[in-house]
């Protein structure tokens, strides 16, 4: 199998990498990540103009890419720069709309792709603990309208988004897959409140409260009670994106650690000449290559039938969670005391790797899910 990217993907990756290196260096990223907005509208518009958002979507909805490898290429570049702009929300919400939206709802995709509309997924709840079908928020019919009530937790850039994709239960028990519905909620909807805060790995998130939010019938995305399948489809793209982002971050941590081992001297020689450190670094390099293989496998399987697709995604997320933590720990330890200093980019990469493990299900969650999916395939 040929794993080389197409010329178009290589050109896009080169353009993204060049922009990030020249316009989004670590000092600029650090300023943006700690700002009140949590992202830069100016950089967001420039990245959209480069085509980084459009590459995430197929041509039939206004994009120019949309394959698993297109998504992987974009997010690997974003991971190398620790970019905090709302790409993940654009991908997941946009994919959900493209998959299940009607003609009127798909009109929002143009704004998502050109960067004029910031979108966010509001699905996780305070006690959901990675369980994708645990939804307590409720949606009740009142005439032709829907009335939403409940709370959503840790919504990335939820206080800055103009459009929220909200899950709410229209039937069934709290932890049942049946009965979950999805709604497109504008940020200015009456009864919607958002409390924003800074994230530990940079950027912002928000707690979202729905207090009898009234929505028209056209806000329902897909059929009533069909939200679980739509969510699985959309968040699958999000899992792939996070795995590729982590791979990009690992590559930078690996590169910087190798450079440090070559230049830091002890007893008059580079510490990279010490055999014990060479062995640790060799193990780390092998693990990063294993992570790359997992991302390639997930990108290739994203268009497969459900069980094969979800197994590949869970396998990749498990591998990324395990290897990401290892890269974070080993890179800091091989740097010694300087690896803990906040002025060095490395600790920020380490934090991002650890936090990626907790988005859309952590290492333990996806290992259990992979086993359960394997039983279904048996």
CATH classification at residue 259: 1.20.140.10
Query: Domain ends where: 117, 142, 177?
Result: 117
- Are both 81 and 132 inside the same structural domain? no
| 1 belongs to a structural domain | no
Can you give the pLDDT at residue 1?
54
Q: What is the mean pLDDT of residues 282-293?
A: 96
Rg (CA), the chain: 21
- Are both 46 and 20 inside the same structural domain? yes
Q: What is the mean pLDDT of residues 19-47?
A: 96
Can you give the pLDDT at residue 340?
82
pLDDT band at 339 (very low <50, low <70, confident <90, very high): confident
Query: Domain ends where: 192, 223, 254?
Result: 223
Q: What is the pTM of this model?
A: 0.96
| 339 belongs to a structural domain | yes
Can you give the pLDDT at residue 306?
95
d(CA 53, CA 10): 16
Of the listed ranges 2-6, 35-39, 111-115, 356-360, the least confidently predicted one is 2-6
- Are both 82 and 214 inside the same structural domain? no
- The number of folded domains in the chain is 3
> For the chain, what is the mean pLDDT?
95
- Are both 23 and 64 inside the same structural domain? yes
- Are both 272 and 178 inside the same structural domain? no
| 276 belongs to a structural domain | yes
Q: What is the mean pLDDT of residues 1-17?
A: 83
On the question of pLDDT at 170 being above 60, the answer is yes
Q: What is the mean pLDDT of residues 6-21?
A: 92
What residues have CB less than 8 Å from 8, skipping those under 6 apart? 65
| 193 belongs to a structural domain | yes
Can you give the pLDDT at residue 342?
81
pLDDT band at 357 (very low <50, low <70, confident <90, very high): very high
d(CA 11, CA 70): 12
- Are both 168 and 190 inside the same structural domain? yes
| 2 belongs to a structural domain | no
CATH classification at residue 108: 1.10.540.10
Can you give the pLDDT at residue 95?
98
- Are both 236 and 322 inside the same structural domain? yes
| 39 belongs to a structural domain | yes
- Are both 14 and 131 inside the same structural domain? no
On the question of pLDDT at 283 being above 70, the answer is yes
Q: What is the mean pLDDT of residues 60-83?
A: 96
- Torsion angle of C-alpha atoms 11, 14, 16, 20, degrees rounded to 10: -170
Can you give the pLDDT at residue 3?
62
Can you give the pLDDT at residue 145?
97
CATH classification at residue 203: 2.40.110.10
| 263 belongs to a structural domain | yes
Q: What is the mean pLDDT of residues 277-284?
A: 94
Of the listed ranges 8-12, 153-157, 210-214, 283-287, the least confidently predicted one is 8-12
In terms of residue numbers, what domain contains 164?
Answer: 120-223
Query: Domain ends where: 78, 94, 117?
Result: 117
- Are both 354 and 333 inside the same structural domain? yes
| β-strands 119-122, 163-169 pairing | parallel
- Are both 346 and 320 inside the same structural domain? yes
On the question of pLDDT at 286 being above 70, the answer is yes
Show the beta-strand stretches assigned E in the chain: 119-122, 138-142, 145-156, 163-169, 180-186, 192-198, 204-215, 220-221, 265-266, 269-270
Of the listed ranges 63-77, 98-112, 161-175, 267-281, the least confidently predicted one is 267-281
- Are both 112 and 131 inside the same structural domain? no
| 180 belongs to a structural domain | yes
């Amino acid at each position: 199998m040929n794993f080389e990217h197409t010329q178009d993907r290589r050109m896009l990756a080169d353009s993204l990498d060049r922009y990030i290196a020249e316009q989004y260096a670590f000092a600029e990223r650090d300023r943006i990540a700690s700002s009140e907005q949590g992202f830069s509208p100016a950089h967001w518009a420039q990245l959209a103009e480069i085509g980084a958002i459009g590459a995430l979507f197929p041509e039939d909805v206004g994009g120019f890419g949309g394959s698993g490898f297109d998504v992987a290429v974009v997010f690997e570049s974003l991971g190398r720069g620790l970019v905090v702009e709302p790409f993940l929300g654009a991908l997941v919400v946009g994919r959900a709309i493209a998959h299940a939206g009607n003609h009127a709802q798909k009109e929002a995709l143009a704004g998502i792709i050109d960067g004029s509309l910031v979108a966010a997924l509001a699905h996780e709840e305070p006690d959901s603990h990675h369980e994708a079908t645990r939804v307590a928020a409720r949606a009740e019919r009142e005439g032709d309208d829907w009335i939403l009530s409940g709370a959503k937790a840790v919504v990335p850039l939820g206080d800055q988004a103009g459009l929220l994709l909200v899950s709410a239960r229209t039937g069934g028990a709290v932890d049942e897959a049946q009965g979950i519905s999805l709604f497109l909620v504008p940020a200015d909807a009456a009864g919607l409140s958002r409390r924003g805060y800074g994230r530990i790995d940079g950027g912002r998130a928000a707690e979202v409260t729905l207090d009898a939010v009234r929505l028209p019938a056209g806000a329902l995305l897909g059929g009533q009670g069909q939200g679980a399948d739509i969510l699985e489809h959309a968040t699958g793209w999000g899992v792939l994106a996070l795995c590729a982002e982590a791979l990009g971050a690992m590559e930078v941590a690996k590169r910087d650690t190798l450079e440090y081992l070559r230049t830091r001297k002890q007893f008059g020689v580079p510490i990279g000449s010490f055999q014990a450190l060479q062995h640790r670094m060799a193990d780390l390099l092998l693990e990063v290559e294993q992570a790359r293989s997992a991302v390639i496998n997930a990108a290739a399987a994203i268009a497969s039938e459900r069980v094969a697709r979800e197994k590949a995604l869970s396998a990749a997320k498990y591998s990324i969670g395990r290897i990401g933590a290892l890269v974070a720990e080993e890179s800091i330890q091989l740097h010694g005391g300087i690896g803990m200093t906040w002025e060095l980019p490395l600790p920020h990469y380490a934090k991002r790797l650890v936090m990626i493990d907790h988005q859309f299900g952590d290492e333990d969650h996806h290992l259990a899910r992979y086993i359960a999916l394997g039983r279904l395939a048996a």
